[in-house]
Structure 1
Amino acid sequence: MDNVFINDSDDEFEDENPEDRNLWRLAKRYIRNWENPIEFFEDIPFRKRYRFSKRAVIEILLPLVNAQLRRLDNRGLPISPLMQLLVTLRFYATSSFQIVNGDLRGFSQATVSRIIVRVSRIIASHLSEYINFFTEEKRRSNKNKFYEIANFPSIIGCIDCTHIRIANPGRNYGEVFRNRKDVVSGSQREILDIVVRHPGSTHDAVIFDRSGLRCRFDLGRLDGILLADSGYACRSYLLTPVLRPETDAEVRYNTAHKKTRIIVEQLFGCWKRRFPCLYYGLRTKLSTSVVIICATAVLHNMCIKCNLGEVIEEVFNEPIIENIVNREQDGIGLVHRNAFILRHFS
């Protein structure tokens, strides 16, 4: 026998008051009512967890991403731009698993992954604004500040590579695509140029040879000198140390070179200390890792430009690797270097 619905009431179902029906309807559960870290943490604990002060997050970082993250309606209970920014900063500051990062805020791992990619792309899109050789006035300022370190003239930057651990991409890239990033440092440990596209198996000098920075020097669009270790080819605009100094002038040159070039190693330590995800490694896919590295580079320069201070509670020992092979022993670059030593260090 088929089930038959019998309405014993005098009133028809269609005549019910819609407001009465809302009384027995289950209320929607809002699972994202977690505490706001801006209100929950004091200033110092907040900065330890997010690497920026509350004021910097609200006044500097949030306007950078707010326009592209803001939703015009509340459909689907969207995560606020502020919370997306904080989730991404927390990932940069801890390099924890995304599922753990999500559990702290009540988000799924997939949601955290999408947030990190989305926010990192927005921040990395400002790369040309915050990472460049600036104006002629800025380069002149860099020369003066570098000269104050060890009396080494005409220096506008120091160049070197650093390793950033990444997840094994697998397939044909497993062995070759180990990580290496080419970076040029300014006198305030800011990043002036960065190349992220080469695998770690690529030699430092090859990365520089294929960079746009070398083209600008070769075309005469940049004036000044870069300092590099012996893994790079000596050029008129890129000076390397003397491998076997024989004269007092060469010893003085090497001493000044080492004292000045150490600033790029300090940059790597400061950068990775501020964003430990670069030190402990990235477990994201290759394209996302590149975006994250660029985004943290932008944030690092932003900290220096806005004088936001450094994170000092953790110390990472960035290994200093001295390459001892000079790739251009008899080239014109060495002739220029010898003349430079005679002119400035004799």
Structure 2
Amino acid sequence: MFAVKALILAWLQIILIYLRRSIEATNSFWLRVVKRRRTRHSSWALHDIHQQPQRVHRSSRARARARWIALAGIRVPRRYWVYPRSNDWWDNFVTAIWDDELWIQNFRMARSTFNELVACIGPRLARQDTRLRRAIPVEKRVAIAIWYLANCYHYRGCMNQFGVGLSTVAGIVLEVCFAIKAELLSKLVCLGQDVAKIMAGFQQLGFPHCIGAVDGTHIAICQFKGRGHEYSNRKKFNSILIQGTVDHTGRFIDVEVGWSGRNHDAFVFANSAICEAMDAGAFVPGNPCLTLEGVAVPPLIISDAAYPMRRWLMKPYGTPSTPAERHFNKCLTRSRNVVEHAFGRLKGRWRCLRSCLLVAEENVTSIAVACVVLHNLCEQKGHGYVEDDAPLQQVQLTEDQPSVPVWPRRHLEQGKVVRDVLARHMLSQVQHQ
């Protein structure tokens, strides 16, 4: 009995396969016939007295056949499984012909630096080949992301340049930025062990016992649905803040990214990790102090007048009235220029930060952090900054400034004591020379 049932089922399967093959063959035949008729009718319609193409309406029989095909579940074969694109520019020009000068102009780094970057983050980006298609090489993946960050291209421009799909470009850019943040952020954006060299560099600029200069900049972002008011800043556009602390060469030793542009710089700084670490004396290894007139001066960070005063955070005098105060403001301004120049080189190298970042809210921080990490990599390798013909847009502040938060008075008093002692010491050093 079971053998009879199995035989019947086998014959039914054979009959179903035969019927399906017959339907597919019939469908293919009628598709060729319809295509031939459409071509003939289109050629006739083009020869009317007005020389204008006429729309050829499908007959009721053709519409019925199309509905029957749709109900039968027969798939029309694709013309392409993967749309053909050209890889000639990347394969034959960039990798084979370009020298280091062209690499620095277009990718902001030499080819040797690019290869080191690929070797570092490559394990996170490698993909396996499948039976359907070959995976995009790791070198090309990193190049697509660097090209997007450096040349202010949208995803569509990268798609045409590298010969990949639009969604593929979007995914690759984010994957590379995530890998850079995970692998290199803690290694490249840090104070390091050579604190004496940094202090000596700021000493040459005119400010003693200093380990960094802090400032912030706005990065324009698109308006997120239903949350545009949360990122609207006093400059009348949506943005996030990048707070950076740099050494005497313009290399970032700390970065804070992700705060809304409507927040005050002082508020962002007071809630940052570097502020907490400096208050605890844990940011600088050993926390070396300089004793002046019986006052212990810890390692210092310099800023502009927008930041809150602390015993380790120096900002200029509001209205200098003595020679020591005027000399202090002059030296602080000259030394603090390194952070402004660093932000200028950061946005000049990675031009995606100069325009509006058209990415999702959760991806803005990773792209900005990746740009900071790559900036430090280029500075460490000694790659010169290539000036751009298009200058940065100067944004004027509006009159309605946000209110500055009120900080504990003890921080202000301690900072003033250290600043006064340091101002007298700096003036005496100049007078003795």
Q: TM-score, normalised by structure 2?
A: 0.68
Query: After the TM superposition, which of the residue ranges 182-191 and 165-174 deviates more from structure 2?
Result: 165-174
Match of 2:121 in 1: 65
Deviation at 1:65, TM superposition (A): 2.1
DSSP 3-state at the match of 1:260: helix
> How far apart are the structure 1 equivalents of 2:279 and 2:97?
54
> How far apart are the structure 2 equivalents of 1:333 and 1:238?
7
Deviation at 1:129, TM superposition (A): 0.9
Match of 1:168 in 2: 223
State how 1:169-318 maps to structure 2 within 5 Å. Answer: 169-176=224-231, 178-221=239-282, 222=284, 223=287, 224-314=299-389, 316-317=391-392
Deviation at 1:308, TM superposition (A): 2.6
Q: TM-score, normalised by structure 1?
A: 0.84
State how 1:70-89 maps to structure 2 within 5 Å. Answer: 70-75=126-131, 76-89=133-146
> How far apart are the structure 1 equivalents of 2:389 and 2:20?
71
Match of 2:33 in 1: none
Deviation at 1:319, TM superposition (A): 5.2
Deviation at 1:74, TM superposition (A): 4.4
Match of 1:22 in 2: none
Q: Specify whether residues 77 and 219 from structure 1 end up closer, same or farther in structure 2 by C-alpha distance, changes over 3 A only.
A: same
Match of 2:104 in 1: 47
State how 1:319-334 maps to structure 2 within 5 Å. Answer: 331-334=413-416
> How far apart are the structure 2 equivalents of 1:67 and 1:4?
46
Deviation at 1:41, TM superposition (A): 3.5
Deviation string 1:226-285 (CA, Å, 9 cap, x unpaired) is 000010111110000001000011110000010000110000001111111111231111
DSSP 3-state at the match of 2:310: coil
Deviation at 1:326, TM superposition (A): 9.8
1:34 aligns with 2:87: yes
Give the alignment partner of residue 210 of structure 2, picking from 136, 155, 167. 155
Larger RCO: Structure 1 or Structure 2 (Cα < 8 Å, ≥ 6 residues apart)? Answer: 1
Deviation at 1:165, TM superposition (A): 1.0
DSSP 3-state at the match of 2:243: strand
> How far apart are the structure 2 equivalents of 1:344 and 1:65?
46
**C-alpha contact (below 8 Å) 1:93/1:275 kept by paired residues:** yes
1:342 aligns with 2:414: no
Match of 1:98 in 2: 155
Deviation at 1:306, TM superposition (A): 2.0
> How far apart are the structure 2 equivalents of 1:334 and 1:250?
12
Alignment gaps of 5+ in structure 1: 6-25
Deviation at 1:339, TM superposition (A): 2.3
> How far apart are the structure 2 equivalents of 1:3 and 1:227?
78
Alignment gaps of 5+ in structure 2: 1-18, 23-78, 233-238, 288-298, 429-433
Deviation string 1:31-68 (CA, Å, 9 cap, x unpaired) is 3551222125444333322222222212x111122212
Deviation at 1:4, TM superposition (A): 10
> How far apart are the structure 2 equivalents of 1:119 and 1:260?
35
**C-alpha contact (below 8 Å) 2:203/2:210 kept by paired residues:** yes
Deviation at 1:181, TM superposition (A): 1.1
**C-alpha contact (below 8 Å) 1:156/1:226 kept by paired residues:** yes
Identity of aligned pairs, percent?
A: 23
Q: Specify whether residues 4 and 333 from structure 1 end up closer, same or farther in structure 2 by C-alpha distance, changes over 3 A only.
A: closer
> How far apart are the structure 2 equivalents of 1:261 and 1:83?
39
> How far apart are the structure 2 equivalents of 1:4 and 1:74?
29
DSSP 3-state at the match of 2:304: coil
Which letter does structure 1 place at the counterpart of 2:351? P
**C-alpha contact (below 8 Å) 2:252/2:376 kept by paired residues:** yes
> How far apart are the structure 2 equivalents of 1:279 and 1:246?
39
Q: Specify whether residues 158 and 168 from structure 1 end up closer, same or farther in structure 2 by C-alpha distance, changes over 3 A only.
A: same
Which letter does structure 2 place at the counterpart of 1:108? G
**C-alpha contact (below 8 Å) 1:208/1:214 kept by paired residues:** yes
> How far apart are the structure 2 equivalents of 1:88 and 1:272?
16
Q: Specify whether residues 128 and 261 from structure 1 end up closer, same or farther in structure 2 by C-alpha distance, changes over 3 A only.
A: same
**C-alpha contact (below 8 Å) 1:269/1:318 kept by paired residues:** no
> How far apart are the structure 1 equivalents of 2:342 and 2:413?
30
> How far apart are the structure 1 equivalents of 2:141 and 2:157?
15
Deviation at 1:28, TM superposition (A): 8.1
> How far apart are the structure 1 equivalents of 2:159 and 2:141?
11
Q: Specify whether residues 171 and 3 from structure 1 end up closer, same or farther in structure 2 by C-alpha distance, changes over 3 A only.
A: closer
Match of 1:131 in 2: 189
> How far apart are the structure 2 equivalents of 1:327 and 1:334?
16
Q: Specify whether residues 86 and 3 from structure 1 end up closer, same or farther in structure 2 by C-alpha distance, changes over 3 A only.
A: closer
Match of 2:199 in 1: 143
Match of 1:23 in 2: none
Match of 1:8 in 2: none
**C-alpha contact (below 8 Å) 2:230/2:260 kept by paired residues:** no
Which letter does structure 2 place at the counterpart of 1:179? I
Name the count of aligned residue pairs. Answer: 321
RMSD of aligned alpha carbons: 2.8
